[in-house]
Amino acid sequence: MSDDVLLYLDQNNQTAIVTLNRPEKRNAISLKLIEQLDQIIDQLHRDQQTKLVMITGSSPAFCAGGDLNDFHGDIGQEEAHHLLKKMQNVLWKITTLPMPTIGWMNGLARGGGMELASACDFRFVNETGTYGFTQGQLAISTGWGGGTLLYERIHPQEAYYWLVNADVRSAVQLKEIGFAQGVFSSEQLEFNHPLIEPYIKRSYEQLRHWKSQWLTNQDLQMLKIRMDKEVEACSHMWVSREHKEAVANFFKRNEK
Ligand SMILES: CC[C@@H](C(=O)O)C(=O)SCCNC(=O)CCNC(=O)[C@H](O)C(C)(C)COP(=O)(O)OP(=O)(O)OC[C@H]1O[C@@H](n2cnc3c(N)ncnc32)[C@H](O)[C@@H]1OP(=O)(O)O
């Protein structure tokens, strides 16, 4: 069985690197990938050694969002809800991991890929990448709870504006609005680079404390309710004719 998600723990188990590994599909998130990611995140929740988790993609992309083959098809609203909920649960588990998390955005991200990045505490982006909450272009909204998380990461006015525009932005723009904490070249984003040294220098206790403080500072109960509502809303849009046409157009375009 191929591994669609890889987990690498560095020698002293200080850093866990979680890599989405479907580069030929731009690391689009299939149902199989969700299952594997879920198991890895559960393992990290139980972990008593790791100081830091980094989530990244196998080059050239970070993540193209939900795999439109798996999430599409002739399904009703309840089935759509059931499928979307699976990844919402994973995003929730990532959000509430007990250690700091970095979305190590090595390349482009679209749709659910941006939602995944929003579930991380910090985001480092590749200067050559392009990034967008493009769900609006597919006649849906964010469907895994990542739109709700976006409101927690940047100014609400800017989050609202981005979701409605559904536009694709540069790395520098992401830094300007505070979505990304740093913009780096591909070489700088190589692992074991000094970029993560500041984190590793801090003690386990410090990092776990700051993470706990970060989570306490958010109203998690309310956050979960807001994410649930987002999934519900998207599941209704998912079965619309407009969405089905938009997905069919994507695959037609790629056939040419
Ligand atoms: C389902 C949840 C929902 C949410 O809650 O947010 C979503 O995520 S909806 C999905 C949103 N994502 C998209 O709309 C992105 C669609 N993809 C693209 O726009 C482009 O592929 C790209 C990501 C900009 C990359 O472009 P490029 O580098 O030119 O590569 P290709 O277009 O040739 O793609 C290579 C390969 O990958 C397949 N692919 C890409 N994205 C997806 C996807 N989201 N689902 C399924 N497959 C995807 C693409 O079809 C190509 O496959 P082959 O033709 O077999 O080579």
Rounded percentage of the chain residues whose pLDDT exceeds 90: 87
Report the nearest atom of ligand 1 relative to the CA of 251.
50
Categorize the per-residue pLDDT at 193 as very low, low, confident or very high, splitting at 50, 70 and 90.
low
CATH architecture for residues 5-204: Alpha-Beta Complex (3.90)
Alpha helices in the chain (DSSP H): 31-46, 68-71, 77-95, 112-118, 146-153, 156-165, 171-176, 197-201, 204-216, 220-238, 241-255
Cβ(129) – ligand 1 distance below 6 Å: no
- DSSP state for residue 136 in the 8-state scheme: G
Task: Give residue 192's region: left, alpha or beta (phi > 0; psi -120 to 50).
Answer: left
User: Residue 122 belongs to what H/E stretch?
Assistant: strand 122-126
In terms of DSSP bridges, do strands 15-20 and 5-9 run parallel, antiparallel, or are they unpaired? antiparallel
Reported as a single tens digit per residue, the pLDDT across 97-125 is 999 999 999 999 999 999 999 999 999 99
Cβ(26) – ligand 1 distance below 6 Å: yes
Average pLDDT, the chain: 94
For the full predicted model, state whether its pTM sits above 0.90. yes
Cβ(116) – ligand 1 distance below 6 Å: no
Residues 201, 101: Cα–Cα separation, whole Å: 15
Residue 142 contacts residue 135 (beta carbons within 8 Å)? yes
CA nearest neighbour of 105 among 162, 154, 56, 54: 56
Residue type, 13: N
Coil vs helix vs strand at 189: coil
Least confident of 161-165, 182-186, 219-223, 224-228: 182-186
- Calculate ∠ Cα 233-121-113, nearest 5°: 50
How far apart are the CA of 177 and the centre of ligand 1, in A? 25
Cβ(71) – ligand 1 distance below 6 Å: yes
Residues 83, 177: Cα–Cα separation, whole Å: 31
pLDDT of residue 192: 59
pLDDT of residue 13: 74
ipTM here: 0.98
CA distances from 150 to 132, 239, 252 (A): 12, 24, 31
Residue closest via CA to ligand 1's atom 36 equals: 25
Domain boundaries, the chain: 5-204
Reported as a single tens digit per residue, the pLDDT across 34-48 is 999 999 999 999 999
pLDDT of residue 101: 97
Which tokens go with 131? 């990034």
Q: Is the pLDDT of residue 146 over 60?
A: yes
Reported as a single tens digit per residue, the pLDDT across 210-236 is 999 999 999 999 999 999 999 999 999
Q: Is the pLDDT of residue 12 over 90?
A: no
Coil vs helix vs strand at 170: strand
Considering only residues 71 and 73, tell me which one the structure prediction assigns the higher pLDDT: 71
